[in-house]
Structure 1
Amino acid sequence: MSTSEILAVLTEQHDAIAAGDAERAIATYAPEPVVYNLAPPLVQTVTDDDASGLAEWIASFTAPPKLAHHDPVVHVDGDLAFVHTLTSMSGDKGGEFTLWFRSTIGLRRVDGHWRVVHQHESVPFHMDGSFRAAVELEPGGQVR
């Protein structure tokens, strides 16, 4: 079934990051994906032959971070699919934390394998004029 295959790609990416293996995580992407993740710049460059940016990010933690999806929703149409979900990231960067953010992942079946062609992550921000990231939010509207 395509849904389980698609979710397996996302699990593989998370497992690779948790193992500190940037090259393995990069292998989940199709060639020249468009990645809008949490860190600057606005658009990330991800290439098969250079996992150094991801490796540096993973190394910036005391131990590799752990990511998990919350109730992902998968839509499939032929060789294209997208997933929308809330994602948690837990780690330690001078203190332990868990951050929840929104994720949308686009995938394409390439040579019989699902690969990420687009990934978009975002943290909501307070609309009170402060523009502070709303990092205290959790699924279901809870606030830490």
Structure 2
Amino acid sequence: MEDIRKLIETWARAVHDGDLEQVTAHHTDDVTMFDVPPPYEGVRGLDAYRATWPGFFEWQRSGAVFELESLDVVEGADVAFAHALARCADADDDGPARLRLTFGLKKIDGAWQIAHEHHSFPMEHTDAS
């Protein structure tokens, strides 16, 4: 479990630092990601996954915060999943802004790789009346 934990913590630091090579490292070529912004059908493949990051990194350079607050891992022999909460907000935003993250991993040639990511924010409940 420690190798998966380290992989995801390294990924999160790379997201915060805007390091595209490290963000995309340890992902399968056919990775699927469902993200907060469109496209709503998600992105499929490493090239499409890679293409989603430049806009986020630009926002991140404005002083935004991205840091893991919790991480839980369940590991099997050749598949694993993890879920995490991350603080993801403008630097001056002291609200909760907790991003929910889920990872699906596969062991390929003895090494863990991320095959699926899901990022989401909870919807604020609004009273329709």
TM-score of Structure 1 vs Structure 2, range by shorter chain? 0.7 to 0.9
2:92 corresponds to 1:89: no
2:68 corresponds to 1:74: no
Q: How does 1:28-39 map to 2 (within 5 A)?
A: 28-39=26-37
Please, what TM-score do these two structures have when normalized by structure 1? 0.72
8 A Cα contact 1:58 1:64, kept in partner? no
Question: Aligned in 2, Cα 1:56/1:23: closer, same or farther, shift over 3 Å?
Answer: farther
Q: How does 1:1-144 map to 2 (within 5 A)?
A: 3-42=1-40, 43-47=42-46, 51-63=50-62, 65-92=64-91, 96-97=92-93, 99-129=97-127
Q: Distance in 1 between matches of 2:63 and 2:18?
A: 5
Give 1:38 deviation, angstroms. Answer: 1.4
Task: Report 1 or 2 for greater relative contact order, CA contacts < 8 Å, sequence distance ≥ 6.
Answer: 2
Give 1:49 deviation, angstroms. Answer: 8.7
Which runs of 5 or more residues in structure 2 are unaligned?
Answer: none
Q: Deviations along 1:24-59, whole A, 9 cap, x unmatched? A: 211131111110111211202442597343123202
Please, what TM-score do these two structures have when normalized by structure 2? 0.79
Which runs of 5 or more residues in structure 1 are unaligned?
Answer: 131-144
Percent identity reads 21
**Aligned with 2:5: secondary structure?**
helix
8 A Cα contact 1:69 1:85, kept in partner? yes
Question: Aligned in 2, Cα 1:40/1:97: closer, same or farther, shift over 3 Å?
Answer: farther
| Larger deviation, residues 54-63 vs 9-18 | 54-63
Q: Distance in 2 between matches of 1:91 and 1:50?
A: 23
**Aligned with 1:51: secondary structure?**
helix
Q: Distance in 1 between matches of 2:48 and 2:72?
A: 31
- The structure where helix makes up a greater share of residues is 2
**Aligned with 2:60: secondary structure?**
coil
Q: Distance in 1 between matches of 2:107 and 2:2?
A: 13
2:98 corresponds to which letter in structure 1?
Answer: W
